[in-house]
Chains A and B, each alone.
Chain A
């Protein structure tokens, strides 16, 4: 610092705890205690999520857990695309709609059981969404966001206007998930597996290529990397996660309608990522687990909850723009102490 400082000036010094070596993701472990230091947060998350449905007082809140799972998956997909591939994707609603409608059509028109429709909707929905979004792979920044927002709006209007797939009524009477335990204990493992798989992916070599695309697509081109291809791969992964959520929700409600294309599914993941911490993958999941119950708790306040909701978001953006998870990670991995300057 160049400016003259007073005698009592202090600043905060941050030191990495000994474990973290050289660079992100490399740790030196020499004892069980140190292994526990790394495992503890992970185990807390895994066990916490697995125990969560058991703690819920009634069916209503158990259902909320399922909805939280859906939004957590969407937020995870959003964070992956936005912060590891550089695609600002507001396609949550598109993925939900595509996944939900495919599952609905397969179930109601072809009579397939939900063990078939959900995986089928995940894969075909992901292919379909990737193809829809492929024209904007060469574009950067906000253009991708605009197109991803356009599709769900267009889709719901088309379904309405042409009166296809049940029109505004939607397709009711789909098979529902057998019971609430099946519902919650099917989405939570999927969430955990997706989370840890994505975390692994972004540190693998192919993940580094994706992060390279985000940092500098020109340099990636000069390094012989086809940016279209890798954007397609990552969009496929994200839309598979989204389409699974859509198909799951359709079967949770036993209904697939145009509200699956609601923009909540696109916007809420952004809010969850801001609160949880952009680029941490686990942060947005936690963000969704905070926001959704909050929405439910504030439901009694009626429209006023939107105000509180926005105040909370604004508060986070102003006071903790890094998000909860980034903050927590820093506190966990670094010592902080005050030093006299």
Chain B
């Protein structure tokens, strides 16, 4: 696969006080691929997302989007370039109903530009997006106040908010965690569909089995550093990856 490189992170480093959250990490994301990022808790995955999306400024290193430097841009400007993210700790607009949650991204300058100002009724578009992502149409759910929605819907709402931006890249920060197998089973085809429509996806995930069904390539992080990169099956065979993920007594582990 020799698609165009869409996003590049070059030698990004970020410390919080004495904690080195991300250390000299480089990666590139090609157009149309699904990249997985895995690693134990505290290995710097979410900080990496924050660095890319501008929520945190790197101490050194840079982020390039389509060859242009976006390091240091404010988060909303980066979002308007088409790099959207979900939050690991879900951040719905809890006092608004589910479909009204999507009005905020639909109001963004990016949506205005990409549709040439001809989006039409935002409410209708919002309902369509929610239906696409698995909210039942005409049921009560899309009209419920976000704070009363169950976890599965909130996770989907996070993704829906990204889709509403008509993004080029969606960065999903642990969207499977806390979901049942059935709920994940409905999310996977959705992500596949997004990929087919040309959206590039970066997934941070702990649920490896489900992740490996989706991704072409995976990056393993540990203690803020990039430990390994490659095809999922090969990467997971590497001894240091197994050690980081499962502990040292690898020999005793049988699948």
A227 contacts which of B76, B108, B140, B165 (Cβ < 8 Å)? B76
- Given A224-B76, A225-B105, list of 16 further CB < 8 A pairs? A212-B104, A215-B96, A216-B92, A218-B55, A219-B91, A219-B92, A221-B75, A222-B53, A222-B91, A223-B84, A223-B105, A223-B108, A223-B161, A224-B79, A225-B76, A225-B107
Shortest distance from the beta carbon of B111 to any chain A beta carbon, whole Å = 8
- A16 CB → nearest B CB, Å: 12
Q: Fill in one digit per residue for B66-85: 1 if any A CB lies within 8 Å of its CB, else 0.
A: 00000000111101100011
A200 at the interface (CB under 8 A from B): no
In the complex, A236 Cα to B105 Cα: how many Å? 23
Chain B residues with a Cβ closer than 8 Å to the other chain, count? 37
Kindly supply a per-residue 1/0 record for chain B positions 97-108, scoring 1 wherever the CB is within 8 Å of any chain A CB and 0 otherwise. Answer: 100110111111
B107 touches A206 (CB 8 A): yes
- Is A337's CB within 8 Å of the partner chain B? no
A223/B122 in contact, CB under 8 A: no
- Chain A residues packing against B (C-beta within 8 Å): 22-24, 205-206, 208-209, 211-212, 214-216, 218-227
Which partner residue on chain A sits nearest B171 by CB separation? Answer: A222
A223 / chain B contacts, CB cutoff of 8 Å: 76, 79, 84, 104-105, 108, 161, 164-165
Scoring B80, B84, B104, B110 by chain A CB atoms within 10 A of each residue's CB, the highest score goes to: B104
Contacting pair A208 B104 (CB below 8 A): yes
Set A209, A215, A221: member contacting B55, Cβ < 8 A = A221
**With a CB–CB cut-off of 8 A, which chain A residues contact B75?**
221-222
Contacts of A225 in B (CB 8 A): 76, 104-105, 107-108
Q: How far is the CA of A208 from the CA of B100 in the complex (A)?
A: 7
Sample (5) of A-B pairs whose CB atoms are under 8 Å apart: A23-B145, A208-B103, A221-B79, A223-B108, A224-B110
Residues of A within 8 A of B165 (CB): 223-224
Per the bound structure, the CA–CA distance linking A224 and B161 in Å amounts to 11
Cβ-closest chain A residue relative to B82: A224
Contact (Cβ within 8 A) B91 A224: no
Contact yes or no, B95 A222, CB < 8 A:
no
Which chain A residues lie closer than 8 Å to B109 at the CB level?
Answer: 224
**Contact B80–A219 (Cβ < 8 Å):** no
Find out whether the CB atom of A222 lies under 8 angstroms from the CB atom of B103: no
The residues of A that contact B101 with a CB separation of less than 8 Å are 212
Tell me whether B96 and A224 are in contact (CB under 8 A): no
User: Pick the contact of A224 from B92, B108, B145 — CB < 8 Å?
Assistant: B108
In the complex, the answer to whether A226 meets B76 with C-beta atoms within 8 Å is yes
Give Cα A131–Cα B75 distance, bound, in whole angstroms: 23
**Which of B80, B92, B144, B161 is A215 in contact with, Cβ under 8 Å?**
B92
Contacts of A24 in B (CB 8 A): 97
Q: A334 to nearest B CB, angstroms? A: 16
**Residue in A212, A220, A224 whose CB lies within 8 Å of B80:** A224
For A227, list chain B residues within 8 Å (CB).
76
Q: Please, which residue of chain B has its CB at the minimum distance from the CB of A84?
A: B95
Complexed CA–CA distance, A205 and B101 (Å): 10
Set B53, B95, B103, B164: member contacting A209, Cβ < 8 A:
B103
| B94 contacts A by Cβ under 8 Å | yes
In angstroms, how far is the closest chain B Cβ from the Cβ of A309?
A: 31
CB closest chain-A residue, reference B106: A205
Chain A residues contacting B55 (CB-CB under 8 Å) are 218, 221-222
Query: What sequence of 0s and 1s flags, for each residue 202-214 of chain B, a beta carbon within 8 Å of any chain A beta carbon?
Result: 0000000000000
Q: Is B245 an interface residue (CB 8 A)?
A: no
Bound Cα distance from A223 to B96, whole angstroms: 15
Partner of A222, one of B84, B96, B140: B84
CB B161 to nearest CB in A, in angstroms, measures 6
Pick the most buried of A211, A220, A223: most chain B CB atoms within 10 A of its CB: A223
The answer to whether A222 and B85 touch across the interface, beta carbons within 8 angstroms, is yes
Interface residue B223 (Cβ < 8 Å from any Cβ of A):
no
A-B residue pairs, 5 tightest by C-beta: A224-B108, A223-B105, A224-B79, A215-B93, A219-B91
Indicate whether A209 sits within 8 Å of B104 (C-beta atoms), given known contacts A215-B92, A222-B87, A223-B161: yes
Closest chain A CB from B164 CB (angstroms) = 8
Q: A37 to chain B: closest CB distance in Å?
A: 21
Interface residue from B53, B93, B140 paired with A211 (Cβ < 8 Å): B93
Q: How far is the CA of A150 from the CA of B188 in the complex (A)?
A: 53
Complex CA distance for A156 and B146, rounded to whole angstroms: 45
Instruction: For A222, list chain B residues within 8 Å (CB).
Output: 53, 55, 75-76, 79, 84-85, 87, 91, 161
